[in-house]
Amino acid sequence: MKSIKNLILIVIFTYSCGFKVINVSELQNFYISSIETSGDKRIGYNLKNKLLLKTDDSTKENIELIIDVKKNKSVKEKNASNEITKYLINVNLDIKIKKNNKVINQLNISNEKDYNVDSQYSQTIVNENKAVKSITELLVAKLVREISLINSNDL
C-alpha cells in the first residue's frame, strides 16, 4: 500500500513539472529595419527579400543586419573518365546584428548542398540555381531562429 502511494506521488510531481514547448513564432519579437548585404549579389538579394517577409511588424524591437555572403563551388565527384558528375555548393554567411548603431552579436551560419551535372549546360545551371535557392531558404530559417534565441536572451 505504501509503494502505491509513493508511485502516485511520483506520477503527480513529474506530470506537473511545468515544462512547456517553446514556440519560435512567439519568440520572434524583433523587426529588421535594414539589411546590408555584400558578396554574392543573387543570394544576398534573395536573403534580404525572405528576411523582410519574415519580420513585418514594425512595432517590435528594431535591429539591423549586415550580411557578408560567400559562395564556394567545388567538385564533389568525378567518373572513371575524369569528367565531373557532381558539384558541391557551400554558402557561408557572416552576420553582424546591430541595435542602436552598436554591434550586439556576430553569427556565422553556413550550409551546403550538392547538385548533378547534366548533359546540357543549361540544365546544369538550372540544377545549380535550385540548389542555391534551397540553401537560401534553409539559411533564412536558421538565421531567424538564431536571432530569435539571441533576442530572447540578450536584448
Q: What are phi and psi of 60, to 5 degrees?
A: -85, 180
pLDDT digits (tens, 9 = 90+) for 67-105: 999 999 999 999 999 999 999 999 999 999 888 888 888
CA–CA separation, 130 vs 84, rounded Å? 19
The residue-averaged pLDDT of 123-134 equals: 94
- Predicted confidence at residue 87, as pLDDT, reads 94
- Predicted confidence at residue 70, as pLDDT, reads 94
- Predicted confidence at residue 71, as pLDDT, reads 94
The residue-averaged pLDDT of 118-126 equals: 93
- Predicted confidence at residue 23, as pLDDT, reads 58
- Predicted confidence at residue 118, as pLDDT, reads 92
pLDDT digits (tens, 9 = 90+) for 15-51: 656 655 555 455 567 778 888 999 989 999 999 988 8
Phi-psi region of 115 (alpha: psi -120 to 50; beta: other; left: phi over 0): beta
* CB of 114 closer than 8 Å to CB of 76: yes
CA–CA separation, 17 vs 12, rounded Å? 9
- Predicted confidence at residue 33, as pLDDT, reads 83
CA–CA separation, 139 vs 93, rounded Å? 8
- Predicted confidence at residue 155, as pLDDT, reads 44
How would you label 75-114 residue by residue, b for 16+ Cβ within 10 Å and e otherwise? ebeeeeeeeeeebebebbbbbebbbeeeeebebebebebe
Give the chain's mean pLDDT: 84
- C-alpha cell recorded at residue 31: 523587426
The residue-averaged pLDDT of 129-152 equals: 87
